[in-house]
Amino acid sequence: MTSWPAPTATTPVSATVTLPGSKSITNRALILAALADGPSTLHGVLRSRDTDLMLAALAAVGAGVDPDGTDPTTITVTPGPLHGGDIDCGLAGTVMRFVPPFAALADGAVTVDGDEQMRARPVDTILRALRELGVVVDGDALPFTITGTGSVRGGAVTIDASSSSQFVSGLLLSAARFDDGITVHHVGDPVPSQPHIDMTIEMLRTAGVVVDDGEADRWRVAPGPIAATDWRIEPDLSNAAAFLAAAAATGGSVSVPLWPAHTTQPGAQIVGVLAQMGATASVDNGTLTVAGPDRLSGIAVDLRDIGELTPTIAALCALADSPSTLSGIAHLRGHETDRLAALTAEITGLGGRCTETADGLRIDPASLHGGTWHSYADHRMATAGAIVGLAVDGVEVDDIGCTSKTLPDFPAMWSAMLGG
């Protein structure tokens, strides 16, 4: 682990930050490309630990993965006969949950394992669904093995996806290649992160797949080809959130070029949350600029659809001058770490007042002091510590290196934003 003294902003931030590609879009596009009816070229691919693990997973079972010789963010994926192999999902939820239905189409045994922390994250929902579809699955958690015959029957399955929308997306992404497609019924508490399911459906339709999502909690993918598609990956708006939060935390200004006019990325919703806390935002010729307020106001907000932004938002709430209530995020207890417990411990450890509720957090104003901010090998926790450090002298993030999960060199980008 690399301990990192979080830099304190001595003046309001004023910067333009160019973000690499979206992890969520990249890993969905890679799965679709590996199952397409011909080669696909992806432009603007995020190169980070999560996406490199997905690239390695596809290659391990027979897909051709060819980065451009001069631009590693341009990659051509060529579908090939899928065979058995070993896959490492690291700490990537998208790899752990998108790969099993894909691997079920292989002819042979595919074993999936990952980092120790991943063994506590739920994956049994998608494995049970595959068993219902006739797939041979050994295990209910990491490590597990899927033994395929080169095809999957498909059909209807009923799942409880209340702990992660990735269960729905994982089944939908590969389902056009199932003999009968798939119909997924969800039962249980509301599915979190609905925008990520919308992203999956939009990308499937872009690749020519017929999807019916006209009924609540039911999704139908018709069997058929997945068209080879040249994808252009949007900037990662969830990663942009931390940098935009820096403007809010310091009363400064941060601009992000290539902000999409239309997007299914839930990270885009950070703009509305920052506005509730007193920031202002404008878009000029595709560049979003957020300007921070003189002081941050607390908020009461339901984050069910944008749970991944919770650490960023909680960090700002710890700096606000009025109470905040963050709700709709009980499912974060099953993320890279128990993010609700982790945020409570770290904010409280620096003198803050943060308590867990049944489905979220209550954060009250308090004077913060320096100290160690633990990241729990969780990239969003690490960047949250960096945000707090902008306003609180003496904060040290214990493992800034875990940000490589989705941002290849976060410390350098953060330093550049501050003019360092």
The residues annotated as belonging to the active site are 308
The reply, when asked if residue 165 is annotated as ligand binding, is: yes
Residue type, 39: P
Residue type, 271: V
The reply, when asked if residue 253 is annotated as ligand binding, is: no
Residue 173 near residue 98 (C-beta atoms within 8 A)? yes
The reply, when asked if residue 185 is annotated as ligand binding, is: no
Residue 343 near residue 352 (C-beta atoms within 8 A)? no
Q: Rounded distance, CA 148 to CA 141, Å?
A: 18
The reply, when asked if residue 121 is annotated as ligand binding, is: yes
Residue owning tokens 């599915």: 191
**How many residues does this entry show for the chain?**
420
The reply, when asked if residue 186 is annotated as ligand binding, is: no
Q: Residue 396 is encoded by which pair of tokens?
A: 């040290």
Taking each helix axis from N to C end, the angle separating 124-132 and 166-175, rounded to the nearest 10 degrees, works out to: 40
Residue 285 near residue 278 (C-beta atoms within 8 A)? no
Task: Give the strands of the sheet with 231-232, arranged side by side.
Answer: 64-67, 75-78, 40-43, 231-232
Residue owning tokens 């979190």: 192
Residue 233 near residue 21 (C-beta atoms within 8 A)? yes
The reply, when asked if residue 23 is annotated as ligand binding, is: yes
The reply, when asked if residue 375 is annotated as ligand binding, is: no
Q: Rounded distance, CA 419 to CA 149, Å?
A: 56
Instruction: Tell me the sheet residues that pair with 373.
Output: 397
3-state SS, residue 355: strand
Please state, as a whole number, how many other Cβ atoms lie within 10 Å of the Cβ of residue 359.
18
Phi, psi of 242 (to 5 degrees): -65, -40
Residue type, 81: P
Prior bond to 143 cis, omega within 30?
yes
Residue 174 near residue 104 (C-beta atoms within 8 A)? yes
The reply, when asked if residue 339 is annotated as ligand binding, is: yes
Of the candidates 93, 83, 76, 27, the residue with the CA atom closest to the CA atom of residue 60: 83
Q: Which bin fits 139, alpha (ψ -120 to 50), beta or left (φ > 0)?
A: left
The reply, when asked if residue 43 is annotated as ligand binding, is: no
Phi, psi of 419 (to 5 degrees): 85, 15
The reply, when asked if residue 405 is annotated as ligand binding, is: yes
The reply, when asked if residue 193 is annotated as ligand binding, is: yes
The reply, when asked if residue 151 is annotated as ligand binding, is: no
The reply, when asked if residue 164 is annotated as ligand binding, is: yes
The reply, when asked if residue 214 is annotated as ligand binding, is: no
Summarize the annotated binding site for 3-phosphoshikimate as residue ranges. 23-24, 28, 164-166, 193, 308, 335
> Which residues are known binding-site members for phosphoenolpyruvate?
23, 93, 121, 166, 339, 380, 405
Q: Binding-site residues, please?
A: 23-24, 28, 93, 121, 164-166, 193, 308, 335, 339, 380, 405
